[in-house]
Chain A
Amino acid sequence: DGGITQSPKYLFRKEGQNVTLSCEQNLNHDAMYWYRQDPGQGLRLIYYSQIVNDFQKGDIAEGYSVSREKKESFPLTVTSAQKNPTAFYLCASSIEYRDSNQPQHFGDGTRLSIL
């Protein structure tokens, strides 16, 4: 079945440590996204990629980095510069960025906590 796979489901980070969250899709979608969700708040966009080898900052990119070397993969690194990383991270994809009536498909999320 086609879909988006995020791993791991739960992740713990020590102070000063970088961690990478995996996101893989086999939907042949061009566009991919990373969101952060905090309790009582909406999804906030961290980074997005309209096409392979291209990505742009979202609204809260500070302390995060991404790469898009392959169409199906869009890993997110939470760096030590991100001072409040505890959150639920959601990866999404869509057929293309510009096609306005196509919904985003979401992965099951990764819950990141500080030790």
Chain B
Amino acid sequence: GQNIDQPTEMTATEGAIVQINCTYQTSGFNGLFWYQQHAGEAPTFLSYNVLDGLEEKGRFSSFLSRSKGYSYLLLKELQMKDSASYLCAVRFGYSSASKIIFGSGTRLSIRP
């Protein structure tokens, strides 16, 4: 199968750093997306990784290890508005035969 695994829930403190992990089966891997989704709203794009390493975008960074089938989203200087679900999505396959599979999401709660 092409399961995407993420922790269901996490809690962190305002101003701190949190790392949300995502693991997937490596066969056919062709890119990984992270989205943020506030309750009852549309997911919004955060980052994309297809090569190994760290991609940094302000307070958010995303890391990928293709050989390990592993990614993480790192959120720094946490703010209350960062309370949301974070979805990991992996593209498997190529061209018109490719398919994007979403994880169940990690619900992040920020406490003051």
Contact = CB atoms under 8 A, between A and B. Distances in A.
Contacts of A105: 45
B100 interface: yes
Interface residues of B, number: 28
B102 A100 contact: no
B104 A41 contact: yes
Nearest to A100: B31
Interface string B31-60: 101010000111111001010000000000
A89 to B, nearest CB: 11
Interface in A43-60: 43-45, 50
Given A44-B102, A98-B95, 14 more contacts: A35-B102, A42-B102, A42-B105, A43-B43, A43-B89, A45-B100, A88-B40, A97-B96, A97-B98, A103-B33, A103-B48, A104-B43, A104-B45, A109-B40
